[in-house]
């Protein structure tokens, strides 16, 4: 599974990255996580508000920080 956290490094972006890493570790999910801060790369996903969670190339969440439970449900459907 390929997970990307899109964001410039704002507090919400850091929070999304932290929660996502926790969910991946706690549930033993096989995943590669990447933090994308380059605005040109973020724009390729048609994201206007960050943070955003991209799983296997699909934008799942944008403009907010979801709960750990919501992140887990999103990741489960990609397994």
Tell me whether residue 10 is one of the annotated catalytic residues. Answer: yes
Q: Which of 1, 8, 10, 68 is catalytic?
A: 10
**Strand runs labelled E in 19-57:** 32-36, 52-55
Annotated active-site residue 15? The verdict is no
Tell me 31's DSSP state: -
3-state secondary structure of 74: helix
Q: Which two tokens stand for residue 71?
A: 């992140």
Active-site option among 6, 13, 42, 47: 13
Report the catalytic residues: 10, 13
């Amino acid at each position: 599974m390929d997970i990307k956290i899109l964001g410039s490094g704002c507090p919400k972006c850091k929070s999304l990255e932290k929660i996502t890493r926790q969910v991946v570790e706690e549930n033993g999910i096989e995943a590669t996580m990447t933090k994308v801060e380059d605005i040109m790369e973020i724009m390729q996903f048609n994201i206007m508000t960050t943070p955003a969670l991209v799983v296997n190339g699909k934008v799942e969440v944008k403009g907010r920080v979801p709960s750990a439970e919501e992140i887990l449900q999103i990741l489960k459907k990609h397994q």
